[in-house]
Amino acid sequence: MSVRVRFAPSPTGRLHVGNIYIALHNWLFARKAGGEFLLRLDDTDRERSTEDFANGIKADLEWLGLAWTLFDRQSARLAIYDAAAQRLRAAGRLYPCYESAEELGLKRKVQLSQGKPPIYDRAALRLTEADRSKLEAEGKRPHWRFKLEARDVTWNDLVRGPQHIDETSQSDPVLVREDGTYLYTLPSVVDDIEFKITHVIRGNDHVTNTATQIQIFEALGAPVPIFAHLPLLVDAAGEGLSKRLGSLSIRQMREEGLEPMAINAYLARIGTGDPAAPARSLDALLPEHDLAKFGKSSPRFDPEELKHLNARLLHHLPFEEARKHLAAIGLGDVDAAVWDAARANVEKVEDIAVWQSVVKGPVTPAIADAAFAAKAAELLPPEPWNAETWSAWTSAVKSATGRKGKDLFMPLRQALTASDHGPELKLLLPLIGRDRALKRLKGETA
């Protein structure tokens, strides 16, 4: 079987980490199996779907490297859904209902007050043709429900194991609204059939929907895909993630300077029991990818853990891989030597700007003891300098002043970099150069 999966967001907002968590595992599953990844925009919500959001979804996926082999949008496929709905009507599985939202709400209240489950009573099935004609003559338009078979629906879930839903506990779902527009359920099934989706990998908030959708697949005479329901991410407070939480949107993370592969590596492992570890490519995540590693509990997304992973990734990122990102944020003048010297001290790529400034200047030195700094300036060796210069110079300063440890090294660091911490000075000193170092030791801005 050739594997084909789909990621089907609604373009009603920007993608957040919870969306990408689902998209990523679809992509990795397909890539590992040599299959295909389909991007489908579920844009039947005409009021909330926008082209800006659609373009934003594409941009976020492209930035993360989650390329798709097929693309479509539901708004271009309405005639196909109409044909499927007509087939279900002809088979007696899709029937018209005329109750208003208020009438349905009243029915549910009565059922609950009687200790009964609030399940639709199928009153519409008892309407005669004359009854329906009369209602429509009064201006009422039907919504359409799918008639469920009263049976246990089972499937073997790749994440949750054997599953079953007793469909007698469910209301016949509405598939078509009064205005003729479709709810999520029918178009999703029809698209999965048309695009020959083999595996549906999504959040566990769809578990109950799955039993209903299996019945729709069967009613349309189509093979049922294999399902996998991942546990949904929660935030630090244990709350579910929402696309409206801008701080967790992919766009916001990109603007904050996080690396796409830090996000991918973190989301690939969260909830699996595998420790989060840097990865420089999506393909590097494939060997350990296995949906069976997930449990049922919701993984907790920790922004601080992601930032830490981002820093770990940068600490080992070769300059050739960092160069493109540096150029994109206006730091194209950073050279390989500065990156290699300072990358272990950055949490985000733009942090390198601080150390670029330290190397190129100007820096206003922090001089706590002018006499000590002047003596250190006298002992600066001639150029050329290399990684051994710092050790040789500080040894000479130690012998001349009797200082050692922090009392020796901290004043020199403060004078040369105006900071109490940073990259190893044996790496920075040759980049700063003798002229700048001499001026800074004399208290001059250079």
What pLDDT digit, counting tens, does each position of 136-150 carry?
A: 999 999 999 999 999
pLDDT of res. 296: 85
Report if residue 299 sits inside a domain.
yes
Domain count, the chain: 3
Number of CB atoms found within 10 A of residue 78's CB: 14
Give this prediction's pTM. Answer: 0.90
Q: Quote the pLDDT of residue 6.
A: 98
Per-residue model confidence (pLDDT) at position 218: 98
**Residue range 84-108, pLDDT digits in tens:** 999 999 999 999 999 999 999 999 9
Quick check: is 331 in a domain? no
Tell me which residues of the chain have a pLDDT lower than 50.
Answer: 243-244
SS3 state at 119: coil
Domain carrying residue 41: 1-94+151-316
CA angle 122, 128, 132 (to 5 degrees): 85
Residues 367 and 220 grouped into a single domain: no
Residue 352: partners with Cβ closer than 8 Å, 6 or more residues away: 326, 331, 334, 338, 339, 342, 343, 346
Rounded to a whole number of angstroms, the distance between the first and last alpha carbons of the chain is: 66
Starting at the edge strand found earlier in the chain, the sheet holding 70-73 runs 4-7, 36-41, 70-73
Predicted confidence at residue 247, as pLDDT, reads: 58
Rounded to an integer, what distance in angstroms lies between the CA atom of residue 342 and that of residue 127? 77
Q: Last residue of a domain, which of 284, 316, 348?
A: 316
Count CB neighbours of 275 within 10 A. Answer: 6
* pLDDT given at position 236: 77
The pLDDT value given to residue 242: 58
> At a CB cut-off of 8 Å and minimum separation 6, what does 434 contact?
380, 382, 383, 385
Q: Do 301 and 256 belong to one domain?
A: yes
Q: Which residue in 278, 257, 269, 422 sits closest to 329, CA to CA?
A: 257
Considering the domain architecture, whether residues 37 and 184 belong to the same structural domain is answered as yes
Tell me, yes or no, whether 330 lies in a domain: no
